[in-house]
Chains A and B, each alone.
Chain A
Amino acid sequence: MSAFEPFEQFDEVEDIVDRLDDPDPGTRRVAVMDLADSADPSAVTYLKKALGDEAREVRLQVALALAEFDGPETADALVVAVVDEDAGVAQAAADSMAELKDPAAADPILPFVTHESAFVRAASLRALRELKRTESLKPALDAFSDEDATVRSEAISVVGYLKTEDALPALMSMLKDVEPAVRRTAAGALGFSVTTAAAEALAQSLTDSDWQVREIAAETLCKVQSTVAAPALRAALTDEYWQVRQKSIRSLGKLGVAEAVPEIIPSLDHDISNLRKEAAAALGEIEAPEAVPALEAHLDDPDPDVRKNIRWALGRIRSE
């Protein structure tokens, strides 16, 4: 035995393929699992053929196995599986499709963005997101008016991943969607932009009726790096949800809004330690000397993370 013998010896694809014609579905299923383990790109052709299997569990295994492969051929097989009559097979195919990384895999998927089933449309858009092909922009923008909320959400993510400023007006219009989940995705997707228009739109979302939309808007505003939203963020410090206040404090700190210091200081007394922690960090970030007495008064906060941030903030302010 040579020293370079492989630790595990897998069967050749040809040997496994014979077992795909076995009368027993269990054996066919194990053959599919072995094809996935082979990591041999030539296995994809056989896997696609196995999608015609009459046994549901075999097709399910194929949908799972295809996650191990990439490229247009894999995508070509997955679009067959994603329209499978069995919901479990279709779901597994949708999940495998989202694992694709090769931009060339987008070509077989693109036509399915307008499929009659909302599930297939959403799955296709979800897969296209990470492939970041400019060709996905147009179909994704068209899907903004889809009747299904999940499809609209996935379409927004596709556009958000492409990061084109041209799509900004369309993305901002989705902040007015009827569905809170869609508005949440839209608020998060605007993070790539550094324009005042995006900041103004997100500032408006700080008064959204859904608190999670407000939270994401507040969080995204620190990425947009524009201080036009500073007054709206300061107003959000009186939000009834501490989660919204926490993200607003963080963004105000990152943006260095010194006017907000007196409004941030009361949060050092809040019951939720995450909020106190964020307040201490923001006060340090802004380097506000007027916050020193308030920070010193909380040096013995019961939460170690808060104490750490207070000391960090004081050190930063005093080193000036």
Chain B
Amino acid sequence: MPLAQQSSSVPVVVDDDKCIADKGCTVCVDVCPLDVLRISDQTGKAFMKYDECWYCMPCEADCPTGAVSVHIPFLLR
């Protein structure tokens, strides 16, 4: 039986076209209380490195360009 070894999606999704982390912005990384966001070495954009989200939303609210969206699981809404 094939098993999925990696989760295919994470709750915090960053729109790379809008993200300005490559210009030096680190707002979402700074506000995350669980410290699960990082700036990618490859793309220079923010991404969710550890899937441990509390769905507290500051990353989405504080992003200056509106690049971050947090997908809250249906049962938590």
What 0/1 pattern do residues 20 to 54 of B give for CB contact below 8 A with A?
A: 10111101000000000000000000000000000
Inter-chain contact A24/B23, CB cutoff 8 Å: yes
Q: In the docked arrangement, what's the CA distance between A55 and B64, Å?
A: 14
Residue from B20, B27, B65 having most chain A Cβ neighbours under 10 A: B20
Inter-chain contact A30/B24, CB cutoff 8 Å: yes
The tally of residues in B whose CB lies under 8 Å from a CB in A reads: 8
B contact face: mostly helix, strand, loop, or mixed:
loop
Inter-chain contact B65/A33, CB cutoff 8 Å: no
A contact face: mostly helix, strand, loop, or mixed:
helix
Besides A27-B24, A30-B24, A33-B64, 17 other A-B contacts (C-beta < 8 A): A24-B23, A26-B20, A26-B22, A26-B23, A27-B23, A29-B25, A29-B64, A30-B20, A30-B23, A30-B25, A31-B24, A33-B25, A33-B27, A34-B24, A57-B64, A57-B65, A61-B64
Q: In the docked arrangement, what's the CA distance between A29 and B23, Å?
A: 9
- Smallest CB separation, B48 vs chain A (Å): 21
- Smallest CB separation, A93 vs chain B (Å): 16
* Interface set, chain A 1-54, CB cutoff 8 A to B: 24, 26-27, 29-31, 33-34
Contacts of A34 in B (CB 8 A): 24
Contacts of B64 in A (CB 8 A): 29, 33, 57, 61, 64
Q: In the docked arrangement, what's the CA distance between A61 and B27, Å?
A: 13
Residue from B23, B24, B25, B65 having most chain A Cβ neighbours under 10 A: B23
What 0/1 pattern do residues 212 to 247 of A give for CB contact below 8 A with B?
A: 000000000000000000000000000000000000
Q: In the docked arrangement, what's the CA distance between A34 and B22, Å?
A: 15
Q: In the docked arrangement, what's the CA distance between A31 and B25, Å?
A: 9
Q: In the docked arrangement, what's the CA distance between A33 and B23, Å?
A: 11
* Interface set, chain B 1-28, CB cutoff 8 A to A: 20, 22-25, 27
Chain A contact-residue range equals 10 to 19
7 contacts between A and B (CB under 8 A): A26-B20, A26-B22, A26-B25, A30-B25, A31-B24, A33-B25, A57-B64
Contacts of A24 in B (CB 8 A): 23
Contacts of B65 in A (CB 8 A): 57
Q: In the docked arrangement, what's the CA distance between A30 and B65, Å?
A: 11
Q: In the docked arrangement, what's the CA distance between A30 and B64, Å?
A: 9
Contacts of B23 in A (CB 8 A): 24, 26-27, 29-30
Instruction: Give the nearest-CB partner of B24 in chain A.
Output: A30
What 0/1 pattern do residues 57 to 76 of B give for CB contact below 8 A with A?
A: 00000001100000000000
Contacts of A64 in B (CB 8 A): 64
Q: Which 4 A-B pairs have the closest CB atoms?
A: A26-B23, A26-B20, A30-B24, A27-B23
Instruction: Give the nearest-CB partner of B23 in chain A.
Output: A26
Contacts of A30 in B (CB 8 A): 20, 23-25
Q: In the docked arrangement, what's the CA distance between A310 and B3, Å?
A: 62
Instruction: Give the nearest-CB partner of B19 in chain A.
Output: A26
Instruction: Give the nearest-CB partner of A57 in chain B.
Output: B65
Instruction: Give the nearest-CB partner of B65 in chain A.
Output: A57
- Smallest CB separation, B15 vs chain A (Å): 14
Q: In the docked arrangement, what's the CA distance between A31 and B24, Å?
A: 8
Contacts of A33 in B (CB 8 A): 25, 27, 64
